[in-house]
Amino acid sequence: MSKHDQTYQIPFASLDNGQHSFHFQVGKDLFDRFENDELHKPDLNVDVLLDKQINRLKFSIHAEGQAEIQCDRCLDYFTHYFNLDQNIFVRLAEETNFNLNTDYVTLDRESQSIDMAYFIYEIIVLSLPLKRVHPVDENGNSTCNPEVTKYIDGESEPSPSNESEDETETHGNEAWKEELIELLNKNKSKNGTS
């Protein structure tokens, strides 16, 4: 994507002081721009309310929608829902500084517009949970892929290797299988299960 993409630009300089509304439809293009492949099929509506004053701008951002993310437990994808609100304060100053460690960012007072892509991206990505697992169903049961979780929970052993493989590959698979079984047994004894 071009660095000069105008999709998320807000041309604040030509606006009168007061409040102004903007709407953005956020999809895969925003995440491709930042080379992020964590979210699949993102579909979010982002509304930005700009409160423009003489030397400062306040952006109230509301993002709502969904994307598919990968489960850390079973590695399948599931739908994650977003409903986010964030305020960004911008001071007009001598130079631009997007250091988000402060309560505000500064923008060169000669600027005519501001690209909201970075702010929208950060709000969405930083809201993702650290542990990403399928939500539970209405009965409190995991909705993870049961074919994978039965191996994780020790309810099943990996299937034997294909007999048509050559001897070297078979030996490697058998060693891996034995090591996996040993780890599962250690985990069972550590947790007090049999």
Is 104 or 169 the better-scoring residue by pLDDT? 104
What confidence tens digit (pLDDT) does each residue in 53-75 have? 988 999 999 999 999 999 998 88
Report yes or no: 124 and 27 within 8 Å, Cβ to Cβ. Answer: no
What confidence tens digit (pLDDT) does each residue in 103-119 have? 788 888 888 888 999 99
How far apart are alpha carbons 148 and 104 in whole angstroms? 46
What confidence tens digit (pLDDT) does each residue in 176-186 have? 677 777 767 76
The vertex-111 CA angle with 108 and 114, nearest 5°, equals 100
